[in-house]
A and B are shown apart, each in its own frame.
Chain A
Amino acid sequence: MQARFYRALYRIRRIEEEIAAVYPTDKIKSPVHLSIGQEAVSVGVCEALRPDDVVFGSYRSHALYLAKGGNLRRMIAELYGKADGCAKGKGGSMHLIDIEARVMGASAVVGTTIPQAVGFAYALKLQRKDSVVASFFGDGAVDEGVFHESLNFAALKGLPIIFVCENNRYAIHTHQSKRQKLDNICDRARAHGLPAEQIPNNDVQRIYERISQSVGQLRAGSPGPFFFECLTYRLKEHVGPNDDFQLGYRTREEAEAWVKSDPIEQLRAHLDAAERRRIEMEVEDEIKDAFVFAEQSPWPEAAELYTDVYGE
């Protein structure tokens, strides 16, 4: 399991680092909201899901897309705006989708995919399927009215959905304490009748265990939903490839505490050196291949501008 976690976390970290490295060349035609520092939440949750389970995310969903099994080549091609992108170059970094991997979409408008995840869960229940849905959003989204409306309805109908709040404490540059009188995100969920739990410190193992348990209960027919607030930290700027400590809204010391407890470093220490090297080499090959694929993929045809507006 540790090797699996390490591979998944390292892979996302390295992909994001490569995106950051390429970004100044202007080959990437999309604003990027990098997941560096927050990989543990997506990996911990998605490792506990089946391929037929469904996820919805936010504009910061590279980690979610990759952790759920989204196609890497097509993700990089999407960032490049190429025809082989996961949305043919019509979505961009903020609207990743992979139908086969059941990554069902991501939105630039905060909180917007939460009710879609709930609606998908409603359909799964009606269709008597035993798949579950995981809805990912940040601590900014819990300020939106739709968050409360969605949790209430999901609880009212006992839907097979797990809400995952990735709390990195910041909505762009504004700390949670400047937006919320109380640090009580789990209480907000409990107020709607959901069992809720906070998992601190990017604890990938704990996230995996708790989600596995919840998913097991949902599949056994217990009513949902479940709510988890996973404390995590964004190491790069809100949008773009750089550090942003010079802006002064947060300190380097605050970030260093998270760097010290980085699960990638911790897992690395536990792995056999040969196995670690093998994983890292495989990941590096996969990344190289994906960027070459994106470089070589053609631009969309001009006619694509007018397709996909309507079905018929």
Chain B
Amino acid sequence: MASETKRELSYIDAVREATDQEMARDSSVILFGLDVDDPKAIQGTTRGLLEKFGPERVFGTPLSEDAMTGVAIGAALAGLRPIHVHIRMDFLMLAMNQLINIAAKSRYMYGGQVQVPIVVRSMIGKSWGQGAQHSQGLYSFFMHVPGLKVVAPTTPYDAKGCLVHAIRDNDPVMYVEHRILHFQRGPVPETSYTVKPGKARITANGSDVTLVGISYMQVECLRARRYLESVDIDAEVIDPIWLSPLDIDTIVESVRKTGRLCVVDNGWSACGASAEIVALVIERLQQIRPVVVRRLGFAPVTCPPTPILENLYYPNASTIASAVYDLVRGGDNGWMPKERLDLQEIQFRGPF
């Protein structure tokens, strides 16, 4: 693996390769969703799969998110492993009945006699005027419901490893991609591997504060860490990767050391992933050591398309660094780092 990890892939190609390898390995894996077989091939994540595996295993669907989710579940009950792709997470709202009332519940309400091994891929959009219904990070809805697993990989390495695991997992997995992360490049072994639930990753070590960044906010947290270095604050950054089941132990151990926790979510804070993580950490540490906490997420409003307002809507490296500065130093210091272009290492290509 050491030599292979030198190979770099984009997140898109990592998703494509995971799907390709699993479909070749297991003939019960099928792939469908709006436009998976069209010329754009879901940003390239499904490119070439129709030609390789044929139209019975790879097909575009009618605009019927509700029924097609039920079709995925029914096919899974019959022994297949469907991957259902949605180019926007917002569209999953049309499929909630099937996801919550059937996919999540079948194993339990049928006394453990059936399983629903489906993967639901969905994408969160940002920028270029995505607006109200192309930008929502709604994974906390699914974290709320027993029976579903939720994963939001950040790196190309995790994108492949988590998808391979999700396809092999015998439970329904909500696989959440952020469109800006699609353009990330990073080392990805060619040989198949899995990144399993239950293990968060410490992406940068530090001793003053624990920064948990979910999905795309992981990237902004790593940038914020660099800003904080300049004011002698040493942040430990954690990527939960799997949100359900959540590896809270890794986060708790970090906060036990730092005493400070800031969770930056790619969604709203109210009843969200950040609220859950903070609550779990406090429950575990409240009689052991003092802890201060902060949550950052989307502004509690609808996402506006105009860039002037949209920039204010999202947390970014500077606003994260500013909030963490106050958390560490105490008080309202009004410190805000000057933007550094050398931290914009993300390859960002619009419009989309």
Is B115 an interface residue when CB atoms closer than 8 A count as contact?
Answer: yes
Q: Tell me if A123 and B80 are in contact (CB < 8 A).
A: yes
Contacts of A145 in B (CB 8 A): 66
B66 pairs with A115, CB closer than 8 A: yes
With most chain A CB atoms within 10 A of its CB, the pick from B69, B109, B115, B171 is: B109
Partner of A127, one of B67, B79, B101, B111: B79
Q: Digit string of A97-119 for contact with B (CB within 8 Å is 1, else 0)?
A: 10100001101010011111111
Instruction: Using A107-B101, A308-B107, A310-B171 as known contacts, say yes or no to A123 and B74 having CB atoms under 8 A apart.
Output: yes
Q: Mark A160-177, 1 if CB is under 8 A from B, else 0.
A: 000000000000000000
B97/A119 in contact, CB under 8 A: no
Which of chain A's residues have a CB closer than 8 A to the CB of B149?
310
Cβ contacts under 8 Å, A89 to chain B: 111
Q: Pick the residue among A105, A146, A310 that contacts B66 (CB under 8 A).
A: A146
Question: What is the CA–CA distance of A107 and B115 in the complex, to the nearest angstrom?
Answer: 16
- Interface check B3, CB cutoff 8 A: no
Return B99 CB to nearest CB of chain A, in Å. 11
Nearest-CB residue, chain A, relative to B70: A115
Q: Are B107 and A309 in contact (CB under 8 A)?
A: yes
Q: Tell me which of A87, A90, A153, A308 contacts B61 (CB under 8 A).
A: A153
B150-174 vs A, Cβ < 8 Å mask (1 yes, 0 no): 0000000000000000000111000
A310-B147, A311-B169 are known contacts. Are A123 and B67 too (CB-CB below 8 A)? no
> Assuming the A-B contacts A109-B97, A126-B80, are A118 and B113 also in contact, with contact meaning beta carbons closer than 8 angstroms in the complex?
no
Q: C-beta contact mask, B237-257 vs A, less than 8 Å → 1, else 0?
A: 000000001000000000000
Q: Which residue of A lies closest to B115 (CB)?
A: A311
Q: From known contacts A90-B109, A146-B66, infer whether A115 and B78 are also in contact, taking CB-CB under 8 Å.
A: no
Instruction: Name the residue on A nearest B113 (C-beta).
Output: A99
B73 within 8 A of A: yes
A241 at the interface (CB under 8 A from B): no
- Measured between beta carbons, the chain B residues less than 8 angstroms from A307 are 112
Q: Are A126 and B30 in contact (CB under 8 A)?
A: yes
Choose among A91, A97, A119, A312 the residue with the greatest number of B CB atoms under 10 Å from its CB: A119
Contact A118 B106 (CB under 8 A): no
Query: Does B102 lie within 8 Å of A153, measured CB to CB?
Result: no
| Interface membership of B72, Cβ < 8 A | yes
Residues of B within 8 A of A149 (CB): 62, 64, 66-68
B324 to chain A, nearest CB (A): 35
**B114 touches A (CB below 8 Å):** yes
Per a CB cutoff under 8 Å, which of A88, A120, A309 touches B78?
A120
Contacting pair B111 A308 (CB below 8 A) = yes
A309 and B115 alpha carbons, distance in the complex (Å): 10
Name B73's closest neighbour in chain A (CB-CB). A116
Interface: A150 (CB within 8 A): yes
Residue in B69, B75, B110, B170 whose beta carbon sits within 8 Å of that of A105 in the complex: B110
Q: Is B128 an interface residue (CB 8 A)?
A: no
Q: How far is the CB of A297 from chain B (nearest CB, A)?
A: 13
The docked-state distance in angstroms from the alpha carbon of A309 to that of B102 is 12
Tell whether, in the assembled complex, residue B171 and residue A116 are in contact, meaning their CB atoms are under 8 Å apart.
no
Whether B77 sits at the interface, judged by CB under 8 Å, is: yes
A99: chain B residues at CB < 8 Å are 113-114
Q: Does A124 contact B (CB under 8 A)?
A: yes
A287 interfacial by beta-carbon distance below 8 Å: no
User: Known contacts being A149-B62, A310-B171, is A120 close to B106, with CB within 8 Å?
Assistant: no
Task: Give the residues from 170 to 189 in chain B that come closer than 8 angstroms, CB to CB, to chain A.
Answer: 170-171
- List A59-102 residues whose CB lies under 8 Å from chain B: 85-91, 95, 97, 99
Cα separation A123 to B74 with both chains bound (whole Å): 8
Residue A10 at the B interface, CB < 8 A? no
Q: Is B70 within 8 A of A119, CB to CB?
A: yes
| B98 at the A interface (CB under 8 A) | yes
| Chain B residues with CB under 8 A of A116 | 70-71, 73-74, 77, 102
| Complex interface residues of chain A between 25 and 64 (CB less than 8 A to chain B) | 54, 56
User: Is A156 a contact of B110 with CB atoms below 8 Å?
Assistant: no
Q: 8 Å CB contacts to A: which residues of B18-54?
A: 30
| Contact flag A117-B74 (CB < 8 Å), given A112-B98, A308-B112, A309-B107 | yes
B12 at the interface (CB under 8 A from A): no
- Cβ A105 vs Cβ B78 within 8 A: no
- Please report the C-alpha to C-alpha distance between residue A88 and residue B57 in the assembled complex, in whole angstroms: 35
Q: What string of 1s and 0s marks CB contacts (under 8 Å) between B75-94 and chain A?
A: 11111101000000000000
Residues of B within 8 A of A119 (CB): 70-78, 82
Instruction: Among A152, A310, A311, point to the contact of B64 (Cβ < 8 A).
Output: A152
Cα–Cα, bound, A231→B120 (Å)? 38
| Partner among A90, A95, A120 whose Cβ is within 8 Å of the Cβ of B77 | A120
Q: Is A122 an interface residue (CB 8 A)?
A: yes
Q: Report the separation of the CA atoms of residues A114 and B80 in the bound assembly, to the nearest whole angstrom.
A: 18
Whose C-beta in chain A lies nearest to the C-beta of B66? A146
Please state if A311 and B171 are interface contacts (CB–CB under 8 Å): yes
Contact between chains at B112 and A105 (CB < 8 Å) = no
Q: Which of B62, B67, B110 has most chain A Cβ within 10 Å?
A: B67
Q: B56: CB under 8 A from chain A?
A: yes
Q: Does B146 contact A (CB under 8 A)?
A: yes
* Contact with A87, one of B56, B76, B110 (Cβ below 8 angstroms): B110
The answer, yes or no, to whether B335 is at the interface (CB within 8 Å) is no
9 A-B pairs in the complex with CB atoms less than 8 angstroms apart:
A88-B112, A105-B114, A116-B102, A120-B74, A121-B74, A152-B64, A309-B108, A309-B146, A310-B107
- Which A residues are within 8 Å of any B CB, using their own CB? 54, 56, 85-91, 95, 97, 99, 104-105, 107, 109, 112-124, 126-127, 145-146, 149-150, 152-153, 156, 307-312
- Beyond the given A97-B111, A119-B78, A308-B112, please list 20 additional residue pairs across the A-B interface where CB-CB is below 8 A: A89-B111, A95-B109, A105-B77, A107-B101, A112-B98, A114-B70, A115-B68, A115-B70, A116-B102, A119-B70, A119-B75, A121-B74, A123-B74, A145-B66, A149-B67, A150-B71, A153-B62, A308-B108, A311-B107, A311-B170
